[in-house]
């Protein structure tokens, strides 16, 4: 039997944080789940699993803790808890449905069936008004098309910090989709920070390097998707952001 090394688990932490934050809808709740999961994993024989991927071990632990603490395990907004988890694992975390099944403790055929149903239900999800912060015109156009295909309305596209702040003040969007690096136009995280001082809206950050943003050392976004991404990934992230995940009673 091959043991998972502590270093492997540490390297997998950013991805577990991304999954947990998207699942719960907030950085503090998600990070608390991951911290407890890591504590339990390192303090038991859970890491003694031959050939098991470190990410999958943490995904499984986070899911178990989440299911134990959620107020609404069956879901009341169209998608069940398991369907949310399946969507996040298969799209956001790029885990196959076959590998997601044991992580969630369900049979492969059940996972496939629930995943198909969940994808169909996404089309009926709550729509909102979205502001896009992106300095590359072609990427901004692609994002606008994807957002609209998810059933949302784009109220503005900003390429600089100043534009983003002005558009947000004028339109008060229900969701912000932001790139981090705006080139000469500044920093997406700085723009969002300024906006959130006077107007709250869930934020999805887009980056090619998610591990740099998910260190757990500072205030960070609850929702992060990796460039390049598939349309379904954006659909799932916006659904979770708009509905706010599912709150936990405790970790």
* DSSP track, the chain: -PPPPHHHHHHHHHHHHHHHHHHHTSHHHHHHHHHHHHHHHHTSSTT--TT--HHHHHHHHHHHHHHHHBS-TT-SSSS-HHHHHHHIIIIIS---HHHHHHHHTS-HHHHHHHHHHHHHHHTTSPP-EEEEE-S-HHHHHHHHHHHHHTT-EEEEEESSHHHHHHHHHHH--SEEEEESB-GGG-BHHHHHHHHHTT----EEEEES-HHHH--SSS---SEEEESS--HHHHHHHHHHHHHT---BS--
Q: Is residue 95 part of a domain?
A: yes
Q: Are residues 77 and 134 in the same domain?
A: no
Same domain flag for 72 and 169: no
Q: Count the Cβ atoms, other than its own, within 10 Å of residue 185.
A: 19
- Nearest-5° Cα angle at 151, 196 to 97: 95
Domain boundary among 87, 122, 157: 122
Q: Which residues pair with 226 in a beta bridge?
A: 207
* Residue 36 binned pLDDT confidence (cut-offs 50, 70, 90): very high
Q: 224, exposed or middle or buried, with CB in 10 Å at 0-12, 13-18, 19+?
A: buried
| Domain endpoint, select from 70, 103, 122 | 122
Q: Are residues 188 and 211 in the same domain?
A: yes
Task: Output the domain CATH number for residue 201.
Answer: 3.40.50.2300
The first and second tokens of residue 72, run together, are: 């609404």
pLDDT in tens, 204-229: 888 776 665 665 555 566 788 887 77
Q: b/e string for 189-222 if b means 16 or more Cβ within 10 A?
A: bebbebbeeeeebbbbbbbeebbebbeeeeebbb
My answer on whether 80 and 152 are in the same domain is no
Q: Is 250 domain-assigned?
A: no
Q: What range defines the domain where residue 18 resides?
A: 6-122
Q: What is the pLDDT of residue 248?
A: 40
Residues 180 and 237 in one domain: yes
Same domain for 173 and 113: no
Calculate the dihedral angle through the C-alpha atoms of 140, 13, 190, 176, rounding to the nearest 10 degrees. 40
Q: Is residue 166 part of a domain?
A: yes
Of 83, 101, 122, which residue is a domain's last? Answer: 122
89 and 172 fall within a common domain: no
Most confident of 126-140, 148-162, 165-179: 165-179
- Give me the CATH number covering residue 20: 1.20.140.160
Q: Which residue has the higher pLDDT, 216 or 112?
A: 112
- Give the pLDDT mean for 59-69: 92
- Of 68-82, 96-110, 133-147, 160-174, the range with the lowest mean pLDDT is 68-82
Say if residue 177 is in the same domain as residue 233.
Answer: yes
How far out from the chain centre does Cα 99 lie? 19
Q: Tell whether 135 and 80 lie within a shared domain.
A: no
Domain identity same for 117 and 133: no
Q: Is residue 113 part of a domain?
A: yes
Assess whether 68 and 137 both reside in one domain: no
Determine, yes or no, domain membership for 105. yes
Query: What mean pLDDT comes out for the span 132-158?
Result: 89
Is 1 a domain residue?
Answer: no
């Amino acid at each position: 039997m091959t043991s998972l090394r502590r270093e492997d688990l540490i390297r997998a932490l950013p991805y577990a944080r991304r999954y947990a934050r998207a699942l719960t809808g907030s950085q503090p709740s998600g990070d608390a789940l991951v911290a407890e999961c890591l504590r339990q994993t390192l303090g038991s024989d859970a890491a003694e699993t031959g050939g098991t991927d470190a990410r999958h071990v943490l995904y499984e632990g986070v899911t178990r803790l989440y299911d134990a603490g959620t107020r609404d395990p069956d879901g009341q907004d169209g998608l069940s808890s398991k369907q949310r988890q399946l969507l996040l694992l298969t799209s956001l975390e790029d885990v196959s449905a076959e590998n997601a099944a044991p992580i969630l403790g369900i049979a492969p055929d059940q996972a496939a069936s629930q995943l198909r149903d969940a994808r169909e239900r996404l089309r009926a999800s709550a729509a909102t008004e979205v502001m896009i912060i992106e300095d590359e015109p072609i990427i901004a156009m692609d994002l606008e098309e994807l957002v609209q295909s998810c059933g949302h309305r784009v109220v503005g596209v900003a390429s600089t910090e100043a534009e983003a702040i002005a558009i947000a003040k004028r339109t008060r969007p229900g969701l912000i989709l932001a790139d981090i690096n705006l080139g000469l136009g500044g920093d997406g995280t700085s723009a969002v920070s300024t906006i959130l001082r006077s107007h709250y809206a869930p934020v999805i950050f887009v980056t090619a390097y998610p591990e740099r943003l998910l260190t757990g050392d500072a205030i960070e976004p609850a929702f992060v998707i990796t460039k390049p991404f598939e349309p379904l990934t954006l659909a799932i992230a916006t659904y979770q952001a708009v509905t706010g995940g599912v709150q936990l009673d405790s970790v």
